[in-house]
């Protein structure tokens, strides 16, 4: 680090040249020797204490660094990059793009969050704030600023939407309405718990009919500029091999016949556009999903509700948490319970009856079915008693085999979750 005097047309100036901890060279110009010496001393002291901050952070525009941050992590998935770029372009850069990186204060961030809250849902505001916080955290890591202004910021309370809980009756209606070309996708999501992108990325060669297995190794997501791109499943635990029940395999065989696929088409997508390319979610939703939901009377149902149904059914059927976590492809078992396994009246009633039997000597009474979930009581299309008669014989039941219990016909007895216990 050194101070050098230099003559200009306007008089003498003093250049302070310094080498940063990572080896880069920086310089700063001062009008007086005293200011230059003071700056040099402060920089030396900060480097000695390990608190040095790159002075460029005081003049670097937030928008410039945000663009650099967006391209900084090569491990980001295309869908994540597209989402972050959209948040930056539409919500953050219009407010902070021209601000100096080191000039943004916690008050500025709080005012921005408050402005977002007037026109966006709480969860959307939190998502936008997460992007802003990540940018300033990266600036701190790169020693461009000393502290992140995204501290002590009050966010709107998170709202967990009450999602409807479909039954086997609803699934049968939806499968009939959506047609043979897409019916198998309904069962893959509800019986195996696949995400839409995992269904869209499933290839014929991933289905092992002999061993009754389905391998999930790829998904389709929306990348930059709205294009659908392939990639690995959502989490590290997303790649998985799942046992598939016989009714689901039968549905897949029917789908393969409809698509006119053969054993030689192992790399062919099970669900695709007419040209064999990847499905576009927005187009598929408006063209296929929404009309099918309307026809079957399930307005408001989203595709991901089928995956939530799968998780809740696993819990209610007594499947252990580790198995449920593995089948859903979650990296953390807490996600399986906290996000997807919605509390149900049946589980609560069963707990009460068990306690009554143990502590009061009262025989447990039968509980309700899966359609009794508390979060679904206000949903108008939840099945009413008697709807089970309208399902027909082709319903794929969300059930599990009861060990050692055989039906009169000699097969394994299954549990139809659409029928309340009292009616069984």
Report pLDDT digits (tens) over 95-138. 999 999 888 999 999 999 999 999 999 999 999 999 999 999 99
Residue 34: its pLDDT value, please?
84
Q: Which residue has the higher pLDDT, 332 or 166?
A: 166
User: The pTM is what?
Assistant: 0.64
Phi-psi region of 329 (alpha: psi -120 to 50; beta: other; left: phi over 0): left
Q: What are phi and psi of 395, to 5 degrees?
A: -70, 130
pLDDT over 70 (residue 414)? no
Residue 20 clears pLDDT 80, i.e. is over it: no
**pLDDT score recorded for residue 351:** 77
With a pLDDT cut of 90, the percent of the chain lying above it is 42
3-state secondary structure the chain: CEEEEEEECCEEEEEEEEECCCCCEEEEEECCHHHHHHHHHHHHHHHHHCCCCCHHHHCCEHHHHHHHHHCCCCCCCHHHHHHHHHHHHHHHHHHHCCCEHHHCCHHHHHHHHHHHHCCCCHHHHHHHHHHHHHHHHHHHHCCCCCCCCCCCCCCCCCCCCCCCCCCHHHHHHHHHHHCCCCHHHHHHHHHCCCCHHHHHCCEHHHEECCCCEEEECCEEEECHHHCEEEECCCCCCCCEEEECCHHHHHHHHHHHHHHCCCCCCCCCECCCCCCCCCCCHHHHHHHHHHHHHHHCCCCCCCCHHHHHHHHHHHHHCCCCHHHHHHHHCCCCHHHHHHHHCCCCHHHHHHHHHHHHHHHCCCCCCCCCCHHHCHHHCCCCCCCCCCHHHHCCCCCCCCCCCCCCCECCCCCECCCCCCCCHHHC
The per-residue pLDDT for 16 is 80
Q: What is the distance between the alpha carbons of residues 298 and 257, in angstroms, rounded to a whole number?
A: 28
| pLDDT for 378 | 39
Q: Would the pLDDT of 63 be above 60?
A: yes
Token digits of residue 318: 């007594």
Q: Angle at Cα 204 formed by Cα 200 and Cα 207, nearest 5°?
A: 100
Is the pLDDT reported for residue 424 higher than 80?
no
Comparing C-alpha atoms, which of 346, 345, 364 is closest to residue 354?
A: 364
Average pLDDT, the chain: 79
């Amino acid at each position: 680090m050194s101070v050098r005097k230099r003559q200009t047309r306007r008089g003498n100036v003093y250049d302070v040249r310094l080498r940063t901890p990572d080896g880069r060279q920086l310089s700063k110009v001062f009008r007086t020797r005293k200011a230059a010496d003071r700056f040099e001393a402060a920089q030396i002291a900060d480097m000695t204490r390990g608190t040095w901050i790159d002075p460029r952070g005081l003049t670097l525009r937030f928008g410039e660094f945000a663009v650099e941050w967006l391209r900084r992590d090569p491990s980001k998935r295309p869908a994540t990059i597209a989402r972050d770029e959209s948040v930056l372009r539409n919500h953050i850069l219009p407010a902070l793009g021209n601000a100096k990186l080191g000039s943004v204060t916690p008050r500025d961030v709080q005012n921005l969050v408050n402005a977002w809250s007037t026109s966006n849902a709480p969860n959307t505001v939190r998502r936008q704030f997460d992007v802003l916080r990540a940018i300033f955290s990266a600036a701190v890591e790169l020693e461009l600023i000393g502290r992140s202004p995204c501290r002590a910021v009050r966010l709107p309370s998170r709202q967990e939407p009450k999602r409807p809980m479909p039954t086997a009756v609803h699934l049968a209606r939806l499968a009939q309405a959506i047609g043979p070309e897409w019916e198998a996708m309904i069962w893959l999501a509800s019986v195996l718990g696949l995400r839409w992108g995992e269904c869209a990325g499933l290839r014929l060669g991933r289905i092992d009919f002999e061993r009754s297995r389905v391998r999930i190794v790829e998904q389709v997501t929306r990348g930059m500029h709205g294009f659908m791109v392939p990639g690995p499943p959502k989490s590290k635990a997303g790649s998985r091999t799942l046992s598939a029940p016989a009714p689901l395999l039968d549905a897949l065989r029917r789908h393969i016949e409809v698509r006119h696929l053969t054993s030689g088409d192992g790399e062919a997508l099970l669900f695709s556009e007419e040209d064999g390319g990847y499905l576009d979610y927005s187009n598929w939703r408006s063209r296929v999903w929404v009309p099918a939901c309307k026809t079957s009377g399930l307005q408001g149902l989203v595709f991901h509700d089928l995956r939530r149904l799968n998780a809740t059914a696993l819990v209610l059927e007594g499947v252990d948490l580790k198995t449920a976590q593995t089948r859903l492809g979650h990296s953390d078992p807490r996600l399986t319970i906290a996000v997807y396994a919605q509390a149900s009246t049946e589980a609560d009633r069963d707990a009460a009856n068990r306690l009554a039997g143990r502590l009061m000597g009262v025989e447990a009474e039968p509980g309700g079915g899966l359609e009794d979930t508390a979060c679904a009581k206000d949903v108008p299309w939840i099945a009413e008693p008697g709807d089970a008669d309208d399902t027909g014989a082709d319903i794929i039941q969300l059930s599990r085999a009861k060990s050692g219990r055989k039906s009169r016909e000699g097969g394994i007895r299954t549990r139809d979750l659409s029928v309340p216990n009292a009616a069984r």
